[in-house]
Amino acid sequence: MVGQVRDGSLEPQEESALHVIATWRDPDGALLRPAVAAVELLNVLRPTVAVSVFMTSAAHALHEHGDWQHKLREDQGNLEPFVQEVRRFYPFFPAVAARSTKDFRWRDYHFPQGRRILLDLTGTNSDPRTWDAPGEFRPDRFQHWNGNAFTFIPQGGGSHDTGHRCPGEWIAIELMKAFCDFLVGSITYDLPDQDLSIDLSSLPALPKSRVVISRIRRRTSLRHDRIEVPAD
Ligand code: HEM
C-alpha cells in the first residue's frame, strides 16, 4: 500500500496515517524505506485494534455495574472517570520490561548494568498505599484525580515527552469514551447466557466468552450528538 500511494495508484485522504507515513520525508528530503514505512503504519494500526480489549472490559464493567449505564447516559462528564477506572481495574498490559544501561542505586535497590527489570503496571494501579479499596470498581475516584504520572500507569508511567510512556493514551481514552457512549446511548441489547469470569492467568485477561451481545436495537430517543446506527 505504501508503494501504491507513492506510484499514485492509491489515493488515501491526506490526513490519513497511510498518506502521512507514505509521503513523509526526513530532513534530507528522503522517503522512508517501504519496509520501515510499513512498520510505522502497523505501529498505528496494531495498538488501535488492541483498544478492543479495553472496550470488551468496558462492556463487562457496564454489565457488572449496571448503575453506570444510567450515569453515563445522563451525563457525558461521567465517561472519562468510567473509562479511567476500566483502565485501572482491568489488567491488560501487566508489566513492562527493560534492561538497565548502567549500574545505579534507587532507594535501597541496586541495579547492576544489564539487569532485566520489570515494572509492575497492574500492581501499581492497585497498590493499597495509593488507592482506596483498589479491588472495588469505583469510577468516582477519578472525578477529582490528581493526575499523578507514577501511580496510575496502565499504558506505562512517567513523562510522555521524555520517556517511553504510551503516546496513544489519549487516543485509547477517546476511543473507549466513544464506544461507551454508543453502547449506553445509541443502542439497546441483551446479554445471552455466557461465561463472563475473567482468567487472570491469560494475557490479555478477557472474560472467557468475551462479551457477547444479541438483539441489538437502535435506541428510539437518540440525542443529536450521538452516533447514528444505520437502519439495516
Ligand atoms: C489498548 C490500549 C493500549 C495499551 C494497553 C498500550 C500500552 C503501551 C505500553 C505499556 C507501552 C510501553 C510504555 C513504556 O515502555 O513505558 C506503549 C508504548 C507505545 N504505544 Fe501504546 N498502548 C495502547 C494503545 C496505543 C495506541 C492507540 C497507540 C497509537 C495509535 C499506541 C502507540 C504506542 C507507541 C508508538 C509506543 C512506543 C512509545 C515509545 O517507545 O516511545 N498505543 N503502549
In terms of phi and psi (left: phi > 0; alpha: psi -120 to 50; beta: otherwise), the region of 156 is left
* Cα–Cα distance measured from residue 99 to residue 66, given in angstroms and rounded to the nearest whole number: 43
Residue 230 pLDDT level (bands cut at 50, 70, 90): low
224 pLDDT more than 60: no
Q: Residue 126 C-alpha to ligand 1 middle, in angstroms?
A: 20
Q: Residue 96 C-alpha to ligand 1 middle, in angstroms?
A: 11
Residue 220 pLDDT level (bands cut at 50, 70, 90): confident
* Residue 61 within a domain: yes
* Residue 117 within a domain: yes
* Residue 162 within a domain: yes
Q: Among 160, 165, 166, 169, which residue has the most ligand 1 atoms within 8 Å of its CB, making it the best to mutate?
A: 166
C-alpha distance across the termini of the chain, in Å: 31
Ligand 1 site, residue 22, Cβ cutoff 6 A: no
The residue nearest atom 36 of ligand 1, judged by CA position, is 166
Q: Residue 172 C-alpha to ligand 1 middle, in angstroms?
A: 9
pLDDT (tens digit, 9 = 90+) per residue, 63-96? 999 999 999 999 999 999 999 999 999 999 999 9
* Residue 1 within a domain: no
* Residue 11 within a domain: no
Q: Whose grid coordinates read 527493560?
A: 98
pLDDT given at position 48: 92
Q: Residue 174 C-alpha to ligand 1 middle, in angstroms?
A: 15
pLDDT (tens digit, 9 = 90+) per residue, 128-182? 999 999 999 999 999 999 999 999 999 999 999 999 999 999 999 999 999 999 9
Residues 52/27, Cβ–Cβ less than 8 Å: no
Split into its structural domains, the chain has a count of 1
Mean pLDDT across 103-124:
96
* Residue 88 within a domain: yes
Coil, helix or strand for 217?
strand
What mean pLDDT value characterizes the chain? 94
Residue 223 pLDDT level (bands cut at 50, 70, 90): low
Quick one: which atom of ligand 1 is closest to the CA of 153?
10
Residues 168/161, Cβ–Cβ less than 8 Å: no
Cis peptide before 81 (omega within 30 of 0): no
225 pLDDT more than 60: no
Which CATH number fits the domain that encloses residue 152?
Answer: 1.10.630.10
* Residue 13 within a domain: no
Residue 221 pLDDT level (bands cut at 50, 70, 90): low
Structure-block grid coordinates of residue 189:
441489547
* Residue 148 within a domain: yes
Domain that holds residue 135: 33-218
pLDDT given at position 229: 61
* Cα–Cα distance measured from residue 98 to residue 82, given in angstroms and rounded to the nearest whole number: 31
Nearest residue to 21 (alpha-carbon basis) of 81, 72, 5, 222:
5
Q: Which residue has the higher pLDDT, 231 or 112?
A: 112
pLDDT given at position 33: 97
Structure-block grid coordinates of residue 42:
502497523
206 pLDDT more than 60: yes
Q: What percent of the chain has pLDDT over 70?
A: 95
User: Which CA distances in Å does 201 have to 54, 91, 105, 159, 208?
Assistant: 17, 10, 32, 30, 12
